[in-house]
């Protein structure tokens, strides 16, 4: 094993591993580099108000910024080869405050620990192995057991608008009396049946989404929470909860205009929360915050 990974990996080493694997691109994000952003409105329905004091989950509408992105950390990704896509949302709260929800169109995170994720990046970057050979390496390692099956279940999306996105990590909703309920968030598309078809090429999902909206087709997502029971793995992002856990719809997000700035200055750190929501002890969730900050700092220096 690499000497660096005999101990806990640092956020700097994680970013270094990504840069070593795919190179650096001046002014670009180190992951989910290519994407498109929108201004949006989120209308909560109050169904979560007994679980949390979070202002954006009561009944008043809030504005939001939404960014869809491709997983591959280069400006020109092989989009059809890597069907994992991201959906990051920033809810704009009173007093210039905000909170983030960063999601992907897979139900679980690829690994249980930050160290395993760095090893995954190293395996996927290893040359001259083909994709098939790299998958064979992953199959042999228990820490990557969920990845081959997960990737085989994915197909290239027809649209950013028709995917279901998952927060990957667990969070606690905190009520007025201090009760904490572990939940997982997801965005599920809310669309008319005739909106299922694509408005463009799978190889250009940004243009497809713009054409979809220009055609007058609403792009909306329902925000759902899945409630954990005591026996569910709260701090393991690579494990799913049973499908029979109670799920509640708590609001609807509606896109309304493309952002010309692409939200490129925004960092969608999933640990930036508001009163009424708390992070779980998931090690990957807590590791993401310094990784995002380091990536943003390097990007701002045009490295």
Does residue 266 have a pLDDT over 80? yes
CB 114 within 8 A of CB 286: no
pLDDT digits (tens, 9 = 90+) for 5-40: 445 788 777 777 766 666 665 655 555 567 899 999
> What is the structure's pLDDT at 6?
44
**Integer Cα distance of 163 and 176 in angstroms:** 34
> What is the structure's pLDDT at 178?
97
**Is domain 3-300 classified as CATH 2.40.180.10?**
yes
Nearest by Cα to 275 from 167, 170, 174: 174
Determine the average pLDDT of the residues in 105-124.
81
> What is the structure's pLDDT at 5?
43
Does residue 145 have a pLDDT over 80? no
> What is the structure's pLDDT at 175?
98
What share of the chain has pLDDT > 90, as a percent? Answer: 52
Average per-residue pLDDT for the chain: 84
**Cα–chain-centroid distance for residue 147?**
16
> What is the structure's pLDDT at 154?
77
Q: By mean pLDDT, which of 1-15, 127-141, 166-180, 193-207 is the weakest?
A: 1-15
**Integer Cα distance of 111 and 144 in angstroms:** 6
Determine the average pLDDT of the residues in 210-216.
91
Q: Which two tokens stand for residue 55?
A: 């202002």
DSSP track, 113-157: SHHHHHHHHHHHH-SS--HHHHHHHHHT-GGGTHHHHHHHH----
If pLDDT is split at 50, 70 and 90, which confidence band does 44 have? very high
Domain regions of the chain by residue span: 3-300
Does residue 261 have a pLDDT over 70? yes
Q: By mean pLDDT, which of 173-182, 200-209, 242-251 is the weakest?
A: 200-209
Nearest by Cα to 171 from 253, 98, 239, 226: 226
**Integer Cα distance of 52 and 173 in angstroms:** 5
If pLDDT is split at 50, 70 and 90, which confidence band does 290 have? confident
Does residue 72 have a pLDDT over 60? yes
Determine the average pLDDT of the residues in 127-153.
68
- Which one of 32, 56, 166, 169 is the catalytic residue? 32
Does residue 291 have a pLDDT over 90? no
What share of the chain has pLDDT > 70, as a percent? Answer: 76
Determine the average pLDDT of the residues in 175-195.
88
> What is the structure's pLDDT at 51?
98
If pLDDT is split at 50, 70 and 90, which confidence band does 121 have? confident
> What is the structure's pLDDT at 12?
77
Q: What is the CA radius of gyration of the chain?
A: 19
Our answer to whether residue 32 is catalytic in this structure is yes
> What is the structure's pLDDT at 272?
96
* Stated pTM of the model: 0.85
Better-scored residue on pLDDT, 63 or 23: 63
């Amino acid at each position: 094993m690499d000497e660096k990974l005999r101990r806990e990996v640092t956020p700097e080493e994680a970013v270094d591993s990504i840069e070593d694997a795919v190179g650096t691109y001046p002014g670009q994000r180190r992951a989910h580099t290519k994407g498109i952003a929108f201004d949006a409105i989120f209308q909560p329905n109050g169904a979560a108000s007994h679980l949390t004091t979070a202002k954006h989950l009561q009944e008043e509408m809030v504005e939001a910024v939404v960014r869809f992105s491709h997983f591959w950390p280069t400006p020109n990704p092989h989009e059809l080869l890597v069907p994992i896509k991201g959906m990051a949302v920033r809810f704009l709260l009173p007093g210039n405050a905000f909170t983030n929800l960063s999601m992907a169109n897979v139900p679980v995170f690829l690994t249980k620990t930050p160290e395993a994720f760095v090893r995954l990046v190293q395996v996927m970057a290893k040359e001259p192995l083909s994709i098939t050979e790299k998958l064979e390496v992953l199959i042999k390692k228990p820490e990557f057991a969920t990845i081959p099956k997960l990737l085989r279940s994915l197909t290239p999306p027809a649209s950013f608008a028709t995917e279901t996105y998952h927060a990957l990590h667990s969070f606690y909703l905190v009520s007025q009396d201090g009760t904490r309920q572990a939940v997982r968030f997801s965005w599920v598309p809310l669309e008319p049946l005739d909106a299922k078809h694509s408005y463009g090429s799978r190889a250009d999902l940004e243009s497809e989404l713009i054409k979809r909206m220009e055609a007058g087709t609403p792009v909306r997502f329902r925000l759902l929470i899945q409630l954990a029971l005591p026996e569910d793995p709260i701090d393991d992002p690579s494990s799913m909860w049973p499908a029979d856990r109670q799920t509640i719809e708590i609001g609807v997000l509606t896109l309304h205009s493309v952002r010309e700035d692409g939200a490129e200055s925004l960092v969608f750190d999933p640990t930036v929360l508001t009163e009424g929501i708390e992070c779980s002890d998931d090690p990957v969730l807590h590791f993401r915050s310094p990784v995002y900050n380091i990536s943003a700092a390097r990007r701002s220096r045009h490295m």
